[in-house]
Amino acid sequence: MARGANSDRHRSQPTTEEVFDKDTFSRDDPMGDAEVDVAPLMEAVSMNPREESLRNGAIIRSERPSARNCLADESHVCWRNGKFAQDMILRLRNVESGEIQLQLQWVNFPPGPGPAAATTR
């Protein structure tokens, strides 16, 4: 089970994911944490490419493991099925060993009715 801690931060700031085991009769134990850098995905989204110009599976950007991130392997921001997506394997910190696999996706929601439409008569 992973728990994130980024609800109040700017959307391109790294977020920390905490990993816990799932215990039935006692408290869940921490198993480590990893920092997720969402900036590469957000930079691809902000490029505003025309969807029809991107082929499915196109790699937009690649990120390599470094001392500045928790990546265990190279990660690619891709255009998949009409969405930007990034698969990543992260090394857990504050634990002897462990990795988690994540997929980030950017999903555009259609504009809602807005606050004016929510008023009662």
8 is a domain residue = yes
The mean per-residue pLDDT over the stretch 42-58 comes to: 83
45 is a domain residue = yes
81 is a domain residue = yes
114 is a domain residue = no
Q: What is the pTM of this model?
A: 0.71
CB under 8 A, 24+ apart: contacts of 53-62 = 54/79, 55/79, 56/80, 56/81, 60/84
Please count the structural domains in the chain: 1
Q: Residue 63: beta bridge partners? A: 75
Q: Which of 11, 31, 34, 32 is CA-nearest to residue 21?
A: 31
Give the count of beta carbons closer than 10 Å to the beta carbon of residue 19: 21
Which amino acid type is present at position 65? P
Question: What mean pLDDT, rounded, does the chain reach?
Answer: 82
Tell me the per-residue pLDDT of 8-21, one tens digit each, with 9 for 90 and over.
345 567 888 888 88
25 is a domain residue = yes
94 is a domain residue = yes
Q: Can you list the alpha helix ranges (DSSP code H) found in 1-121?
A: 39-46, 114-117
The answer to whether residues 12 and 39 touch, using CB atoms and an 8 Å cutoff, is: yes
- The whole domain housing 43 covers 2-107
CB under 8 A, 24+ apart: contacts of 57-63 = 60/84, 63/37, 63/88
Angle at 66 between CA 48 and CA 91, to 5 degrees: 95
Percent of the chain scoring above 70 in pLDDT: 82
58 is a domain residue = yes
The mean per-residue pLDDT over the stretch 57-71 comes to: 92
Supply the pLDDT for residue 116: 56
